[in-house]
Structure 1
Amino acid sequence: MLDMLKVETKKELILDLEKRVNDKILERTNYELLKKLIEKADTLDEAINIKILGTHYKKTGFHFDPRLEKLSDTIKYFSKNNKLSFITDLNKLHHKLIIGDNYPALLNLLVEYKGAIDIIYIDPPYGKDNMGEFADTNYENAITRDNLLSMLKYRLILAKQLLSEEGIIFCSIDDRNQAYVKCLFDDIFEEKNFIASVPRKTGAGNAAARNDAKLRKPFDYLLIYKKSNTVLKKKIVGRKEYKYEDSLGRYDLAQFQATGSDSTRSDRPNLYYPVYLSSDGKLYTEPQPDTIKTILPKKVHGEDGRWMWKKEKFNQDANLYIEYNDGFLYRKIYYDENEDQNVYQVEEAWLADGKYRNSEGTTQLTEIMNSEKVLFNNPKPVDLMKWCINLHPNKNAVVLDFFAGSGSTGQSVLELNREDNGKRQFILCTSDEVTDTTPNGIPYDVTVKRLKRIMTGKCYDNTSNFEWLKKNEPYGDNLDVLEIKDVANFEVTPGKTPFDVIDETLYGVDKFKTIQEKINWVCNNFEKNQKEVEA
C-alpha cells in the first residue's frame, strides 16, 4: 500500500532476511536472490510475499505452507461513518473503531501510526474445533493451522512496523496452537524479545464425558513480546529500609546462603564450605582454637546448599560484610544514595483470579447490551485487558487491537484512564462478520453499540435502560467509526476518483489547500492493496 514507506519497509524486510542468514536459517545464495526480488517488487504486498519465502523455520524444523497474498486493482481506504461516530466533548480524547478486514486496516494505519503504537493486544481465531461458527466464517471459511499462521504472519509483519521501539504486543492463544504461534512470534519479533507465556484460567475446563483419561484444559495462554527497548511498568509498594548501622553506615541484612535455582552444593561445589564462629564473634573458613559453632549451608529438607561467595572472598571480606545471627549468616546491604530506593511489586506470570475468566467477560457484555442472547462467544474480560495495558509504563499510550471482537479492549482503556487519570487512546479493528445473533454484523450489533453505551450512557436510539448504567458512570470521550472502502485505481469519474473519496483528515493530516497537494499525498501514500487468500 504505502509508496512513501515502501523503500524503508523493503530495507526492513531485507534486514530480517539477513538476520536469518546470520542465524544459519537461510542460505546466502537464496538470500541474495530474495533480496533482488524484494528490491524490484512493485508493491509492499509483493515485497512481503517474497520475504515470506525465506521464513520457513528450517532451523527448528517448524514449517507451514503460507497462503500468499494476491493483489487486485483497487485501493483500500478509510471512510468515516458519521451516523455511528459521536462526540461528547471536543476537548476530550478521540478513539477509533475500524470496521472491515484488518489487513488493509493495518496498512492504512501505517500512514499515520508507523512506529507510534505502544501496546497491541490480539485474540485471533484459533480454529473451527475451538471457536465454532465464529472461526469457521472469520477467515475464508478455512481456519486450518496453516491458514491461521499465514493470516497472522502477514498481519504481525505490519504490526511490528506499527509498534514503537518501546512497544509491547500480547496474543491470546489456546494450548493446541500456542507452540506454533510462539514460533511465529519468535520469527517476527525475535526470540530475544520474548517476555513471557502467561497461563490464564479461562474456566472450570471440560473433560470428555466418555473418556475419564482426558485432562481438563481450563487454560489458555498470553504470549508477550517487546519490540526492542520496552521497560515494563513497575508498581512501587514501599521504600527500602536500613534498620541497622555501623561505622560504614546504615545497612539491611540479606541471606548469605543462596536460594532459588542453582542453590545446592551439587550446582556449585566450590561455594560449599564450613564457616566457623569464634568466641569473639569473628568468622573463619578454618577451625580456630576458640571456635564455638560450625555453620553449614543447609536447605529446608536437609540437602546441602551453598554460599554466595567463594572461600577466598569470604576470608577477605567476611568480618566486614557478613553477620551471624541466631544460627544464620547474613550479608550487609549498605545504603547507596545513587541506587533506586523503591521496593517494587513483582507481577506473577499466572492469571488464575476469577476476574480474568471468560465468564466474567460474558457477564460484563450482557450487562451492557441487555440481551439474553449470546451476542459474542467468549468475550475477553476487561480486567485481562487492563492487566496487559498496565504492564506498559506510558499512561498516554496508543493501544491497538486488530481482532477487537466485542470491544473489551476499548472498555479497558476507558476504565484505566478513569482510574489513573491517563490519556490512553484505543484503536479497534474488527471484521464485518454476520452471525445468527448479529444479522447486521458483529461490529454494528455489538462492538459499536457497546462503546456508545459505556461512553455516552445512551444507546443510538437514546434509550438508557441497561444494567451497566445502574452501577457505572459513562466514560465520555469521542469515537470515530471508520469503514474500509475501496476505489479502483483507474477510476476517473469526477467526484469518485481516489483523490476525491480519500479523506486526508482521517489520517492525521490537515485538509489540503490545493488539489495538487492532495494528488501528491495520495500518490505518495496509496497503492493497490486488495488481497485475498489463495484457495
Structure 2
Amino acid sequence: MERNELQSLQELKEEEKIKILDRTNNGILEKENADFLIKLIDNAENKTEVLKISALGMTYKRTGFHFDVRLEKNEGQTIRYLKKNENLSFDQGGITHKLIIGDNYPALLNLLINYKNKIKVIYIDPPYGKDHLGAFAQTNYNNAITRDNLLSMLYPRLILARQLLKDDGVIFCSIDDRNQAYVKCLFDEVFGEGNFVSTLIWRKIEENSSSGGTMKITKNFRKDHEFIICYAKNYDLFLTNKFLELPNFENEYKNLDNDPRGEFKAGSISMKGNKNSLKYYEIETPSGKKYSRVWRITKEEFQALDDDNRIYYGKNKDSVPQIKIFINEERPVTPTSFFENLGSSFSAGEYLNKIFKNDKGESIFSNPKPVDLIKRICETSTNTNQNDIILDFFAGSGTTGHAVLELNKQDGGNRQFILVTNNEITDSNPNGIALDVTSKRLKRIMSGECYDESKDFKWLEKNTPYGDSLEVSEIQSIASSDHSVFEKIDEKLYGKDFENIHDKIEWICKEFELTCRKIEGE
C-alpha cells in the first residue's frame, strides 16, 4: 500500500475511533467494548473493514432498537471511477452542475475525493416503498421485527454523506410514517441525536386539489402527509444560518433613540442554551451593566452591529441588548415545520408531463416530489450563501436539480447541484430512468431543447430555459490489477490536472477506494 493511501486509511481510523469514544462518553458503549473495537480498528487493513468494525457499536442501546448491519463488501478487486458521458453533457457557460449515473455508494466514495466537507445541503428521497427498494434493500412490511435491508442500505451511505457535509451543513430525508421512527433512529446514530433539527411535515394534498392528489385512504385516517427528517452535521454551527435568527419583536416601528436612519423594531437576540455553546459570551451595556448568556449571533457579528449603531440597549442604556430592524429592511424568517401549499406528487407528475410532452396522462415517473417543496428546503438552508452546493444521491426524476435552477433564477444565486441516480429500467423507461427521465429533464429545462433538438414540449410555453452547463458522468469499473486505470481515470472530473503521470499515479493510489459491490452472504 502506498504511503498516501496509508495516510488516508489512518485518517478514517482516527475519525471512527473518535466516534467510538464519543459513544463511550455518552454511555452508549461500555468502555471495555469500546477499547476492543478501537483495537480492531487499529489493525484493520482497509477502509471497509474500518466502517464494518465501527458499525458493531451501532446497537441503539438507549432505544432498544437494533438491526444487523450488512455493509457493501469490498474484496479489493475492482476500482469504481467516473467516466464522462460526452453525449449527455453540454456546455452553455455559467455554473457547471453535475449528474452521476450509477450506484450511489461508489458515487459517494468518488465525490469524497473532491467534495469532502464542501456540501452545504443534502436532500434525499430514498426508495422506502416495499416494491421500489431493489434486491439489496427490499423491505418486507409483513415483518414486524426488523427492516434490516432498508437500514443497511442507508447506513453506509449516510456515513459517507456526513463526511461530505460542511461543518454547518444540513441533511433532509423524505420518509413515510411507516418508516419514520426507524430511519430517525438511524440518523440519531450516524449524525448524533444532539444534531437533530426537526421533523418537518409535508402536507402533500393541495387545498385546491379536486382529485385528491396522492391521498391514501385507510380504515381509520386519511393519510395526506409525509415526513422530512432534518439533521445538522454540527447543530451549534448550523444555528448561524440567518433563517434561524428571527428575533422576537414586541414593539411597533418607532425611533426609540433618535436614530437618523428612522423608525425600527427592537428584537431579542438572546436564546436558550448552555455555557458550552459557541455563542455564549458576555455583553456590557454603555451604562456598565453586564449580561452573560447564549446569543443568536456570534461575538464578532454583535461587535460589527454595535459599531454600526444597530444594537438598542433601552431608554437608560442598561437593558438586555436588542437588534434594530429598520422599517425599510427585510428581516429573516424562521420557517415553520409544517409545509403546505407546495404541491403534491400528483401536481408534480402533471408538471413533469409538460416537460416531456406527455398528453396521455400516463406517469413517466412514480411519485415525484414537487419543485416548490425542494426549493423551499434549499432556500431556507442556503440563503446566507448563494454559492452553496446541494447534493441529492437518490435523485430520481431530477427535481432537486430543477429546484436549484429555479431558486437561482429567483434570487440571482450561484448554487450548484450534484445529482446521483441509478438507471433502473421500468416499463415506462425502457432505457432506464437516468437516460429517459433525469438527463432529458435537465437538458430541456436548461437549454430549451432535448438531445434530439426537439422543442415541442408544453413547459416552454410559460417558462424560459435556465441556462448553465451539465457534466454527466457514469460509474465505471476496472480491475485493480489493470495498470490502464492510470490512463482511464480522468482527473479533470475530480478538479485535478496533473502535468506528469507520476503525480497522477500517486493521487490515484491515495484517493481511490476499492469498491467491489457485493452483498454480504450472497
| Residue 490 of structure 2: aligned partner | 503
Deviation at 1:344, TM superposition (A): 3.8
Quote the residue 2:371 is aligned against: 382
Letter in 2 for 1:473: T
415-424 or 231-240, larger mean C-alpha shift: 231-240
Letter of the 2:82 partner, please give it.
F
Q: d(CA) in 2 for partners of 1:432 and 1:246?
A: 63
Residue in structure 2 matched with residue 522 of structure 1 by the alignment:
508
Q: How many angstroms does 1:67 deviate by?
A: 1.4
Please say if residues 200 and 356 of structure 1, whose CA atoms lie closer than 8 Å, have aligned partners that are also in contact: no
Distance in 2 between residues matched to 1:427 and 1:217, nearest whole Å: 32
Q: Which amino acid aligns with 1:513?
A: E
Contact 1:233 1:390 in 2 (8 A): no
Specify which of 68, 72, 79 is matched with residue 75 of structure 1.
79
Larger Rg: 1
Aligned match of 1:234: 243
Answer yes or no: is the 8 Å Cα contact 2:138–2:149 preserved in 1: no
Structure 1 distance, partners of 2:388, 2:366, is 28
State the AA in 1 paired with 2:27.
Answer: K
**Separation in 1, partners of 2:452, 2:509:** 41
1:45 equivalenced with 2:60 (yes/no): no
Question: Mapping of 1:98-177 within 5 angstroms?
Answer: 98-128=100-130, 132=131, 134-135=132-133, 137=134, 139=136, 141=138, 145-177=147-179
Secondary structure (helix, strand or coil) at the match of 1:383 reads helix
One-letter code aligned to 1:376: F
**Counterpart in the other structure of 1:472:** 463
Contact 1:126–1:143, Cα closer than 8 Å, also in 2: no
Using the alignment, how far apart are the partners of 2:36 and 2:83 within structure 1? 39
Question: What are the superposed Cα offsets for residues 119-143 of structure 1, whole Å, 9 maximum, x if unpaired?
Answer: 0000001131xxx3x33x3746556
Q: CA deviation at 1:359?
A: 1.6
* Unaligned 5+ runs, structure 1: 255-331
Q: Deviation string for 1:429-456 (max 9, x for gaps)? A: 0012111111111000000000000000
In structure 1, the residue matched to 2:433 is 442
- Extract unaligned runs of 5+ from structure 2: 142-146, 206-211, 267-313, 326-330
Match of 1:395 among 383, 386, 391: 386
Q: 1:425 corresponds to which residue?
A: 416
Maintained 8 Å contact 2:137/2:152: no
Q: Is the 8 A contact 1:114 1:162 kept in 2?
A: yes
User: How many residues matched?
Assistant: 443
Residue in 2 that maps onto 1:31: 34
How far did 1:338 drift?
A: 6.4
Instruction: Specify the code of the residue in structure 2 equivalent to 1:217.
Output: K
SS of residue matched to 1:234:
helix
2:351 equivalent to 1:364: yes
Q: In structure 1, what is the equivalent of residue 275 of structure 2?
A: none
Matched, 1:225 2:212: no
Write the letter of the residue equivalent to 2:405: L
Which residue number in structure 2 is paired with residue 482 of structure 1?
473
Quick one: structure 1 residues 333 and 388, their matched pair in 2 at CA, closer, same or farther if it must change by over 3 Å? farther
How far apart are the structure 2 equivalents of 1:453 and 1:334?
Answer: 62
Amino acid at match of 2:339: L
Alpha carbons 1:383, 1:412 under 8 Å: kept: yes
Instruction: Provide closer, same or farther for how the CA distance between residues 477 and 344 of structure 1 changes in structure 2, counting only shifts above 3 A.
Output: closer
2:109 is paired with a residue of what secondary structure? helix
Identity over aligned pairs, percent:
46
Cα deviation, 1:229-273, whole Å, max 9, x if unaligned, reads: 1133429999974548699xx99999xxxxxxxxxxxxxxxxxxx
Aligned to 1:412: 403
Mapped to 2, the partners of 1:459 and 1:251 lie a distance apart of 53
Aligned-residue offset at 1:334? 7.7
Amino acid at match of 2:516: Q
Equivalences for 1:4-19 in 2 at 5 Å?
5-19=8-22
Write the mapping of 1:241-390 to structure 2, written as runs, cut at 5 A: 241=252, 243=254, 339-342=322-325, 343-353=331-341, 355-371=342-358, 372=360, 373-390=362-379
TM-score calculated relative to the size of structure 2:
0.79
Paired amino acid for 1:93? I
Aligned AA (1:500)? E
Q: Please report how far the alpha carbon of residue 491 of structure 1 lies from its aligned counterpart in structure 2 after TM superposition.
A: 1.3
Q: Is the contact made by 1:117 and 1:399 (CA closer than 8 Å) also made in structure 2?
A: yes
State how far apart, in whole Å, the 2-side matches of 1:482 and 1:432 are: 12
How far does the alpha carbon of each residue in 1:202-239 deviate from its partner, in whole angstroms, 9 at most, with x for none? 2342224xx4xx21211110111111111334299999
CA contact (8 A) 2:264 2:324 kept: no
The 3 A distance-change label for structure 1 pair 444 and 236 is same
CA distance in 1, matches of 2:469, 2:129: 35
- 1 CA distance for matches of 2:490 and 2:501? 12
Which letter maps to 1:347?
P
CA deviations 1:394-442 (Å, max 9, x no partner) are 2111000000000000000101111111000000000121111111110
Measure how far apart 1:64 and its partner are.
Answer: 1.1
Q: Post-superposition shift, 1:333?
A: 8.0
CA contact (8 A) 1:78 1:506 kept: yes
CA distance 1:522–1:143, change in 2 (3 Å): farther
TM-align CA RMSD: 2.9
Q: Quick one: distance in 2 between partners of 1:503 and 1:439?
A: 30
TM-score, scaled to structure 1: 0.77
- Mapped to 2, the partners of 1:99 and 1:387 lie a distance apart of 26
1:456-497 Cα deviation digits (max 9, x unpaired) = 0000000000010111110110001010001101114xxxx2
Q: Which runs of 4+ in 1 moved over 4 A?
A: 140-144, 235-242, 244-247, 250-254, 332-338
1:300 corresponding residue in structure 2:
none
8 Å Cα contact 2:447-2:467 kept in structure 1? yes
Return closer, same or farther for 1:245/1:30 CA change in 2, 3 Å cut-off: closer
Contact 2:138 2:150 in 1 (8 A): no
**CA deviation profile, 1:87-143 (whole Å, cap 9, x unmatched):** 112xx1000000001000000000000000000000001131xxx3x33x3746556
Q: Distance in 1 between matches of 2:87 and 2:508?
A: 26
The CA distance in 2 between the partners of 1:472 and 1:252, in whole Å, is: 39
Distance 1:164 1:396 in 2: 13
How many Å separate the matches in 2 of 1:337 and 1:28?
45
Q: Distance between the aligned counterparts of 2:465 and 2:439, measured in 1? A: 15
Aligned to 2:271: none
* Worse overlay, 227-236 or 512-521: 227-236
1: distance between equivalents of 2:156 and 2:135? 16
Partner of 1:207: 217
